[in-house]
């Protein structure tokens, strides 16, 4: 798809007479923004953008508490190249972790991009949802959104004032909606907002704020210099997810930003869900997934699920497996180990199936909010089948017990776990089986949190024999002790 700025049509008729006299006050705002950025003609003739810099990208849903700051990667050698004429962009950057994971701190080159409706990560095709989000990302900078507003196939409407800003809605030909905020003082774009869908958070606004405007570009040839921002901050809902400090060049040769041929030829990946049922002991099963597992426990009159991870699809499949294993008993509880998004993505689905959520009280208000949030862009299971949240909050001081007289499950906090505050583990004292996650994952390259888990087991005098990790294979207490020793030696 090739886009035509409205202004170029005027040029073709009137030759180089400055365009102006926009048809509507809304278009006038866009044209004025272009003027403030260096001239309507210069902006209209810009088809490529190169942005270089450094910054941080943040790990959404991986903070130590639901409302704590997000952990981040330090980013260097950020390079974004955009080819607006062909609707392509590519981003490459060096990321270094600044937080502990299941592996050592590492630096890694990351490359991803978009070619029309094909998104890719390195050499692998990404999903259509990613492609749609990346298409919108192309317009989260002042040049992109002004070009889109000038495009004759876009609709620009609803001029209004909000504080010291003038605001318009820009709807692209493909239906993607943006809101552009322009500073009344400088006439420069201050913010672009669009909406997206997040499985945990539902309908979310993604906004990118611009500041530190200065003249840049013009290195690519005849092109006039444009006034562009040094600083970009992107927020998803109320979380900052990236922050870059940059310089830019316009109309520099960005080369061919096509997706690799084999990526274009591949079909967009579809999420596949498999549930492998492994019996651990009588009435105890691991419901294994590709990366994230759940566990099912049978009591006299009911069933208990540990963890609703990864996605609605996985959680619904796990619940179905559980009900197939024991069709005569109601599935009553889901125990949620911690709030991290990969471990709580199925909570809404579990609520829609009538399960009571057991979690640490540090997560309570976050889950109340999560269940109440709007999911209109994608109508998830809980939207289709609204159910109230029933939640049992576990405190750090007192273990929570589920028992039927013969089987008892103790749910306790992993005290001082640096991975997540209010991390829960579950223990069957009679069977000597411990369920845990993210503290000890047997196949992980490193186990920085294993020592904390072992200390919690010892402090509570739990006589653990078998460990059922919700990542990796079933292990023993000796395996955990070995991992702690290896970790100590690696330091």
β-pair type (276-281, 88-97): unpaired
Nearer to Zn ion, 125 or 338 (CB): 338
- Minimum distance of Zn ion from residue 151's CB (angstroms): 43
Contact 303, 331 (CB under 8 A): yes
Contact 162, 18 (CB under 8 A): no
Nearer to Zn ion, 148 or 358 (CB): 358
Residue numbers 233-292 binding Zn ion by CB under 5 A: none
Residue numbers 46-85 binding Zn ion by CB under 5 A: none
Size of the site for Zn ion (CB under 5 A): 2
- Minimum distance of Zn ion from residue 419's CB (angstroms): 6
User: Which residue pairs from 153-159 have beta carbons closer than 8 angstroms and sit at least 24 positions apart in sequence?
Assistant: 153/3, 153/4, 156/24, 156/26, 156/27, 156/29, 156/30, 157/24, 157/26, 158/26, 159/24, 159/25, 159/26, 159/29
Nearer to Zn ion, 30 or 420 (CB): 420
438 makes contact with Zn ion (CB under 5 A): yes
> What is the C-alpha to C-alpha distance for residues 36 and 38, in angstroms, rounded to an integer?
5
Give the binding range for Zn ion (CB under 5 A) out of 108-116, 210-218, 338-346, 399-407: 338-346
- Minimum distance of Zn ion from residue 294's CB (angstroms): 15
Query: Largest Cα–Cα distance in the chain?
Result: 88
User: Which residue pairs from 169-178 have beta carbons closer than 8 angstroms and sit at least 24 positions apart in sequence?
Assistant: 170/30, 170/139, 170/145, 172/139, 172/148, 173/1, 174/135, 176/132, 176/135, 176/136, 176/139, 178/136, 178/139, 178/145, 178/148
β-pair type (400-403, 165-171): unpaired
Nearer to Zn ion, 436 or 438 (CB): 438
- Minimum distance of Zn ion from residue 61's CB (angstroms): 9
Give the binding range for Zn ion (CB under 5 A) out of 2-10, 211-219, 337-345, 360-368: 337-345
340 makes contact with Zn ion (CB under 5 A): yes
- Minimum distance of Zn ion from residue 104's CB (angstroms): 17
Write out the two tokens for 370. 């999560």
- Minimum distance of Zn ion from residue 443's CB (angstroms): 16
Tokens 């599935």 locate to 331
Give the binding range for Zn ion (CB under 5 A) out of 46-54, 111-119, 222-230, 436-444: 436-444
Residue numbers 84-103 binding Zn ion by CB under 5 A: none
- Minimum distance of Zn ion from residue 453's CB (angstroms): 13
Give the binding range for Zn ion (CB under 5 A) out of 334-342, 345-353, 379-387, 457-465: 334-342
Nearer to Zn ion, 112 or 239 (CB): 239
Q: Give 389: exposed, middle or buried? Use CB within 10 Å, 0-12, 13-18, 19+.
A: middle
Phi-psi region of 487 (alpha: psi -120 to 50; beta: other; left: phi over 0): alpha
How many Cβ atoms are within 10 Å of 413's Cβ, its own excluded? 22
User: 142-150 and 25-36 are packed helices; what angle lies between their axes, rounded to 10 degrees?
Assistant: 140
- Minimum distance of Zn ion from residue 340's CB (angstroms): 4
Query: Any residues with CB less than 8 A from the CB of 129 and at least 6 apart, and which?
Result: 197
- Minimum distance of Zn ion from residue 337's CB (angstroms): 8
Nearer to Zn ion, 307 or 438 (CB): 438
Site mask for Zn ion (CB under 5 A), range 152-171, x = bound:
--------------------
Nearer to Zn ion, 181 or 292 (CB): 292
CA dist list (Å): 88 to 138, 359, 368: 8, 44, 40
- Minimum distance of Zn ion from residue 290's CB (angstroms): 17
332 strand-pairing partners: none
Q: Which residue has the closest beta carbon to Zn ion?
A: 340
Question: Sign of the C-alpha dihedral, residues 304, 310, 315, 317?
Answer: negative
Give the binding range for Zn ion (CB under 5 A) out of 235-243, 339-347, 392-400, 475-483: 339-347
Give the binding range for Zn ion (CB under 5 A) out of 17-25, 73-81, 154-162, 437-445: 437-445
Nearer to Zn ion, 340 or 375 (CB): 340
Nearer to Zn ion, 85 or 100 (CB): 100
- Minimum distance of Zn ion from residue 64's CB (angstroms): 10
- Minimum distance of Zn ion from residue 59's CB (angstroms): 10
Residue numbers 362-381 binding Zn ion by CB under 5 A: none
Nearer to Zn ion, 421 or 438 (CB): 438
The helix (H) or strand (E) run that includes residue 280 is strand 276-281
Nearer to Zn ion, 99 or 302 (CB): 99
How many Cβ atoms are within 10 Å of 41's Cβ, its own excluded? 20
Phi-psi region of 379 (alpha: psi -120 to 50; beta: other; left: phi over 0): beta
Give the binding range for Zn ion (CB under 5 A) out of 135-143, 236-244, 277-285, 438-446: 438-446
307 makes contact with Zn ion (CB under 5 A): no
SS3 content of the chain, % helix, strand, coil (to 5): 25, 35, 40
**Residues contributing to the site for Zn ion (CB under 5 A):** 340, 438
């Amino acid at each position: 798809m090739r886009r035509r700025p409205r202004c170029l049509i005027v040029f073709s008729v009137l030759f180089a007479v400055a365009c102006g006299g926009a048809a509507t006050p809304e278009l006038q705002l866009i044209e004025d923004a272009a003027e403030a950025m260096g001239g309507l003609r210069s902006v209209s003739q810009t088809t490529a953008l190169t942005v270089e810099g450094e910054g941080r990208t943040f790990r959404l849903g991986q903070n130590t508490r639901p409302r704590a700051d997000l952990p981040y990667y330090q980013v260097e050698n950020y390079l974004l190249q955009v080819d607006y004429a062909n609707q392509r962009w590519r981003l490459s950057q060096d990321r270094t972790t600044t937080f502990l994971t299941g592996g050592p701190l590492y630096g890694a080159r990351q490359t991803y991009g978009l070619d029309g409706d094909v998104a890719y990560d390195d050499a692998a095709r990404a999903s259509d949802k990613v492609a749609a989000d990346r298409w919108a990302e192309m317009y989260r900078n002042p040049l992109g959104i002004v070009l889109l507003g000038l495009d004759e196939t876009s609709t620009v409407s609803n001029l209004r004032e909000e504080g010291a800003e003038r605001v318009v809605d820009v709807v692209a030909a493909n239906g993607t909606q943006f809101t552009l905020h322009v500073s009344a003082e400088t006439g420069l774009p201050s913010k672009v907002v669009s909406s997206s869908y997040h499985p945990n958070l539902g309908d979310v606004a993604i906004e990118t704020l611009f500041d530190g405007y200065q003249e840049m570009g013009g290195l690519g040839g005849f092109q006039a210099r444009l006034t562009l921002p040094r600083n970009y901050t992107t927020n998803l809902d109320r979380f900052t997810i990236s922050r870059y400090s940059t310089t830019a060049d316009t109309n520099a040769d960005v080369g061919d930003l096509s997706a690799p041929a084999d990526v274009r030829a591949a079909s967009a990946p579809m999420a596949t869900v498999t549930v492998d049922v492994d019996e651990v002991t009588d009435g105890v099963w691991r419901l294994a997934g590709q990366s994230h597992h759940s566990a099912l426990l049978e009591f006299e009159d009911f069933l208990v699920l540990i963890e609703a991870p990864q996605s609605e699809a996985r959680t619904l499949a796990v619940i179905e497996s559980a009900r197939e294993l024991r069709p005569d008993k109601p599935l009553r509880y889901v125990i949620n180990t911690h709030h991290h998004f990969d471990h709580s993505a199925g909570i809404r689905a579990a609520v829609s199936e009538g399960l009571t959520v057991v979690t640490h009280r540090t997560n309570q208000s976050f889950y109340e909010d999560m269940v109440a949030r709007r999911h209109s862009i994608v109508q998830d299971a809980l939207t289709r089948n609204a159910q109230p949240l029933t939640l049992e909050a576990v405190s750090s001081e007192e273990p929570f017990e589920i028992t039927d007289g013969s089987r008892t499950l103790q749910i306790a906090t992993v005290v001082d776990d640096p991975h997540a505050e209010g991390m829960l583990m579950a223990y069957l004292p009679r069977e000597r089986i411990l369920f845990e996650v993210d503290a000890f994952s047997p196949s992980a390259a490193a186990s920085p949190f294993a020592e904390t888990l072992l200390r919690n087991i010892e402090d509570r005098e739990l006589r653990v024999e078998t460990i059922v990790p919700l990542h990796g294979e079933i292990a023993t207490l000796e395996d955990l002790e070995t991992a702690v020793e290896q970790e100590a030696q690696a330091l």
